[in-house]
Amino acid sequence: MVDALDKGSYVKIIPSERKIIGYSTKYARGPLKNFKNYFVIYVDKPFTVLRTFNDTVLTDSLHLHSRRSVAAIGFKTTAGEKVHLRVASSFISFEQAELNLKTEQGNDSFEVTKQKAKAVWNKTLNHITVSGASVDQVRTFYSCLYRMLFFPNKLYEINAQGKILHWSPYTGNTEPGYMFAGTGFWDTFRALYPFLNLVYPSIDKEMQQGLINDYKEGGWLPEWSSPGYADIMVGNNSASVVADAYLKGIKGYNIDTLYQALLHGANNQGPNATGRKGVEYYNTLGYVPVDKVDQSAARTLEYAYDDFSIYQLGKKLNRPAAELEIYKKRSLNYRNLFDSSTKLMRGKNADGTFQTPFYQFRWGGPFTEGNSWHYTWAAFHDIQGLINLMGGNRQFTAKLDSVFTLPPSFDLKKSDWVIHEMREMQIAGMGQYAHGNQPIQHMIYLYNYAGQPWKTQYWVREAMRKLYAATPDGYCGDEDNGQTSAWYVFSAMGFYPVCPTSGQYVLGTPLFKSMTLNLENGNKLVLNAAANSESNQYINGISINGKPYNNNWFDHSTLLKGGVINFNMSAQPNKQRGTTQASFPYSLTNDK
């Protein structure tokens, strides 16, 4: 049975070629212009049954276009006989689907195809090798790496002349160049894209070229693509994705076009979550008001970081000082939502008053899939500024500690409903730390900024131990476009990109005795922690290429050079290491 689905579809049975072709026009989010998912299926045995159905009604034709077109084929077989079907698809044409089948499979048998797929995955996953780990740790690590490498999806195809082209969800036409889809930057700017920039930069180069085509064909950069602009989640985090790639040395595309796209998105509201909803308030009041725009606090906090990313990229591109100052100033807008009485971020009305009553544990409202305890830490680019607002390191770390000691309770409005992240927070038993809610995933690493890196090391191990395992129930929630796995993979390395566009990775604690990153530039980065164990989870000292290293962060450019980083692990925390001002990771407040 070949069901081409029910939004208008086509099937055709061609018995002389042992083939079925067809297309489906069904999609989840749109509208999409001229959308057709073409498919071709070859079978290695003659058909003895040939039928088509208009939904459930048998027809007398071998080809059918209807609301729901279904083909049925049958074979005369012996007991245990296998019938093989070779399948390919295209968003461009039947001819392109045939070419894709020829290119990807040719006349290979099923077993040969399976072995080729295995070889591709082995080569791809072999960018990172680990040793000194248990079988379950290896399974968990590579399962996470495997999942995250599915995102985003290639939407482009290669024609008979070897040219790269794609069906455009914006114009409805076949256009030249790269295109990707199936990603939400609200999730993935945090760790997935930084990981690609470190380990798989060549694919992110293609993605940046694809973003240029998004902008040229649709007028906006996507914030969530599936495959066009989807009205999902908040923020303007394409700014981070674009800036992060270029600042980390990925070149070979028109960055000036992308920079103009960032400026356009930062100062305008577009369709389906593109640009910035509430931008007129954000640019005048310095925040998005809760009584005017939904999810206002989440938008404000993310826009502030996005402005920082534009500022960072603008500096690299030598943009005018007056322009840079606009975005640097706006990046401090997170301060406008800080409530000094509770030391939490809070929704604010257009008249400058805080929203009352203040439900600290209420998910939603001013926030997105979370509450104030999750979003208070979303000043990725200026943690030192947040520390100052809270009254210093002591008060800051006490607030961090509170996340884990508070009960995992949540509050709902009558119109809201329980979402899976809420239940996952309760099951995890780590207080208000809701790992399935992306805005808090970096929070564990913030102890470094306040001179208590050993607490980061403790809680990173706790999260990895409790929330990830090589069991059927061993994944802590929604994949979220690869971000949840990216958190684990980075954390297993021993560091994490708290602020992606700073170019720094904040120290955690390595999980394995040894890990090697086979970088695309030909260098090898070896991460050794010979004394690592379940109890030896604290970093007592670090050396890079034999020289002592005292900071609690690594720089991207240092990692790209390769070499050997040795972690001296201990069962007891070293409370002297990483406590000086010089050891702090980047923060805008310290940017001179």
- Which tens digits make up the pLDDT trace of 29-58? 888 999 999 999 999 999 999 999 999 999
Q: How far apart are CA 374 and CA 438, in angstroms?
A: 9
User: For the chain, how long is the longest CA-to-CA vector?
Assistant: 82
Beta bridge partner(s), residue 553:
506
Q: Do strands 180-181 and 153-154 pair parallel, antiparallel, or not at all (unpaired)?
A: antiparallel
Per-residue confidence (pLDDT) for residue 69, from 0 to 100: 98
Neighbours of 420 (CB within 10 A): 11
pLDDT tens, position by position, 344-398? 999 999 999 999 999 999 999 999 999 999 999 999 999 999 999 999 999 999 9
Beta bridge partner(s), residue 37:
24
Orientation angle between helical segments 255-266 and 201-218, nearest 10 degrees: 60
φ/ψ of residue 384, rounded to 5? -65, -40
DSSP state of 355: P
Which of the listed CATH numbers 2.70.98.10, 3.30.930.10, 3.90.550.10, 3.40.50.300 matches domain 2-123? 2.70.98.10
Orientation angle between helical segments 321-330 and 296-316, nearest 10 degrees: 150
Query: Beta strands of 298-397 (E only): which ranges?
Result: 338-339, 344-345
The two tokens of residue 206 are: 């293609």
Per-residue confidence (pLDDT) for residue 168, from 0 to 100: 98
Spell out the domain ranges in the chain.
2-123, 126-590
CB contact at 8 A, 187 and 481: yes
| Architecture of domain 126-590 in this structure | Up-down Bundle (1.20)
Query: 220 by DSSP, 3-state: which?
Result: coil
Q: How far apart are CA 451 and CA 579, in angstroms?
A: 4
φ/ψ of residue 264, rounded to 5? -60, -45
Q: Is the dihedral of CA 484, 485, 489, 490 positive or negative?
A: negative
Q: How far apart are CA 349 and CA 293, in angstroms?
A: 10
Per-residue confidence (pLDDT) for residue 477, from 0 to 100: 86
Question: Which residues of the chain are under the pLDDT cut of 50?
Answer: none
Q: Which of 35, 23, 26, 8 is nearest to 171 (CA)?
A: 35
Per-residue confidence (pLDDT) for residue 493, from 0 to 100: 98
Per-residue confidence (pLDDT) for residue 590, from 0 to 100: 86
Q: Is the dihedral of CA 573, 575, 577, 578 positive or negative?
A: positive
Q: How far apart are CA 306 and CA 300, in angstroms?
A: 10
Fold: same for 2-123 and 126-590? no
